[in-house]
Amino acid sequence: MLALQGDVREHFHALTACGAEPVSVRREAELAAVDGLVLPGGESTAISKLLEVFGLLEPLRQRLRDGMPAFGSCAGMILLARDVLDTRPDAQSLSGIDMTVRRNAFGRQVDSFETDLEFTGLDGAVRAVFIRAPWVERIGEGVEVLARVPSGPAEGRIVAVRQGGVLATSFHPEVTGDLRVHRLFVDSVRERAAVRPS
């Protein structure tokens, strides 16, 4: 669990409820010791700067290149993107998923909303909470679209994707009590750990 800024506690609870053993990651040695990483919602430019301050930016990019599973929600999705629109010029990205995202695409805090989404691989609708959320403008080859906004002004916008073991949502599944998205991530971490050479 990247624990530099954002809604860390909510993800901790969700991961624990899924049977995982989350730990806080703030140092390179802690990053090296984990099998997967959650990048929480929060403020993407602040987290980006803190990744540099704590010496985690390049080590995290390398872990992602090496195939470490990751899950980013909201700001975490922004950080995992290859390209980010409407952000500060000094903001860093991790290039964990070949996609372009638009930061704060749904508007300001007062424009936050909830809706039900069909989510590929999950039975039944997922309740999605959007808070100053991004959306995906472009996906590269090998990126799977998992969910789109079903209706309204943003109808059809991509809000959940996966590339290999890296999953990203523009919404916050950690605040709803529905553990299915976290279980997808935990299962991918376990699958990779099971086949990794010892």
Predicted pLDDT of residue 88? 87
Q: What is the DSSP string of 143-182?
A: PEEEEE--SSTTTT-EEEEEETTEEEESS-GGGTS--HHH
Binding residues for L-glutamine: 42-44, 103, 131-132
41 CB-near residues (< 8 Å, 6+ apart) = 6, 7, 73, 74, 75, 76, 131, 172, 174
Domain boundaries, the chain: 8-195
Q: Report yes or no: 135 and 159 within 8 Å, Cβ to Cβ.
A: yes
Average pLDDT for residues 68-79, to the nearest whole number?
97
CATH of domain 8-195: 3.40.50.880
Predicted pLDDT of residue 147? 98
Average pLDDT for residues 35-57, to the nearest whole number?
95
List the alpha helices (DSSP H) in 28-179. Answer: 28-33, 44-53, 57-65, 75-80
Catalytic site positions: 74, 172, 174
Predicted pLDDT of residue 197? 62
**DSSP classification of residue 35:** S
In this prediction the pTM is 0.94
Binding residues: 42-44, 103, 131-132
